[in-house]
Structure 1
Amino acid sequence: MYIPPAFRVEDTTKIAAFIQQHSFATLISHDGTAPFASHLPMLFHPDAGSHGTLVSHMARDNPQWQHLASGGEALCIFHGPHSYISPSWYQAELAVPTWNYAAVHAYGVPTVFSDHERIVKLLGETISTYEEALEQPWPGDLPDEFRDKLIQGIVAFEIPVARIEGKFKLGQNRSAADIQGVYDALSRAEDADSRAVARLMFTECNVDESP
């Protein structure tokens, strides 16, 4: 990923928090002829391995698991909020439109695993991760026979992360007045993505909170 120095994120704690907040990833592999992508929730274990480990599963009918088992490198893209940026929000007179966004790319060689108890643990962790914020979390209690039949239809895998790239493109290369103007405009926007970019700018850039 192309990352100008002003937009590069190297804080591992910040990257881990970003992945966990935006955990529905695009997984890209190569079948030897062309790229192939799936969209999957990913669990991130930041303390497993030098750069953390991603764990997930996919349908057995999805041919991508065979690419993952071939030993080639895969790319996981975690997408954060993004928004169009109008030059009318800048103090600078000469400017052009752009786009602000945040993303993390994680690279590694996947390993498919079939240990039953490990898959059961993965599914339990996945359920608890996404249910815990709900008012009435589903406990995930299923009869073993029913659960095990479903397990036959999936393939579990892990990706020890070999390298990871974080990019928060929030206008850090512009003047303080321009950054503030963008933040103010996005804070007042009606769409949730624009307001999410504004919140990220509030934590990453030196801006004054909008009234």
Structure 2
Amino acid sequence: MYVPAHFAVRDAAPLQALIAENAFGLLVSGGMEDMVASHVPFLYEPGHGPHGRLVCHLAAANGQAAALDGRPVLCIFQGVHGYVSPNWYAKKPAVPTWNYAAVHAYGRATVTRDPARLRDIVERLTAVYEGADGWKLSDEPESFAAGLLRGIVGVEIPVERLEGKFKLSQNRPAADVTGVIANLRRLGGDANIALAEAMQQAAEDAAARRSQD
């Protein structure tokens, strides 16, 4: 990922937080001739190793699963994002752009077909999204659960490297940042408001760092 210095995130904590909050990601593997990707919900476990561990499962019929064990992979996570008009800037000339936050996680995949491990993966993933009182695999007949587990493979990825880019107008003058935030809030909608809040936080963090220098 191309990461200019303005937008680089060196601290692991916000990168881990973005993954945890936007855990439906993209699992990419293969080379130039056989590159393939799957869109999957991940379970992120930050306490495993220096950069945490990603866990997911794929359909056993997914061709990516057959060539995944022991292979290097890239997992991509997208946070807040949105269009930025040059009309929102105080300083001209300017061009349109897109602000966003994204994390790339690199590691080597391990594939499991062990029923006990698969059950554990499914139960942990569903616990995250269902909550304590939600659906559980144990709610279904055992014959159904066993058939389900035969149809999937589990994937565990110890993260070897995290790379983050939070492009939130840090390269623009303060007046431009204020203008973008104001216009995103004016437009409204969850995505625009979330981006405005992320930009506001980035601006406040930058101001706090400057005051400590």
Give the alignment's TM-score, normalised by structure 1. Answer: 0.91
CA drift of 1:82 comes to 1.2
1:48-90 CA distances to partner (integer Å, 9 max, x unpaired)? 0121110000101100012212x32111000112111111111
> Where does 1:127-206 land on structure 2 (aligned, <5 Å)?
127-132=126-131, 137-140=134-137, 141-206=139-204
CA drift of 1:138 comes to 2.4
1:73 aligns with 2:81: no
In structure 2, C-alpha distance between the alignment counterparts of 1:34 and 1:178, rounded to whole Å: 43
Match in the other structure for 2:210: none
SS of 2:204's partner is: coil
> Where does 1:1-16 land on structure 2 (aligned, <5 Å)?
1-16=1-16
SS of 1:64's partner is: helix
In structure 2, C-alpha distance between the alignment counterparts of 1:3 and 1:31, rounded to whole Å: 22
Which consecutive aligned stretches of 4+ in structure 1 deviate over 6 angstroms post-superposition?
A: none
CA drift of 1:37 comes to 0.8
Gaps of 5+ in 2: 206-213
Q: Percent identity?
A: 45
In structure 1, C-alpha distance between the alignment counterparts of 2:84 and 2:30, rounded to whole Å: 34
In structure 2, C-alpha distance between the alignment counterparts of 1:204 and 1:10, rounded to whole Å: 14
In structure 2, C-alpha distance between the alignment counterparts of 1:198 and 1:177, rounded to whole Å: 14
Counterpart amino acid of residue 192 in structure 1: D
Count, aligned residues: 204
SS of 2:117's partner is: helix
Give the alignment's TM-score, normalised by structure 2. Answer: 0.90
1:1-52 CA distances to partner (integer Å, 9 max, x unpaired)? 1111111112222111110110000111116723111100011111101211
CA drift of 1:158 comes to 0.5
Match in the other structure for 1:58: 58
Gaps of 5+ in 1: none
1:115-163 CA distances to partner (integer Å, 9 max, x unpaired)? 2222111111111101129xx6324422222101110000101011111
CA drift of 1:190 comes to 3.6
RMSD of aligned alpha carbons: 1.7
- Structure with more helix by fraction: 2
SS of 2:67's partner is: helix
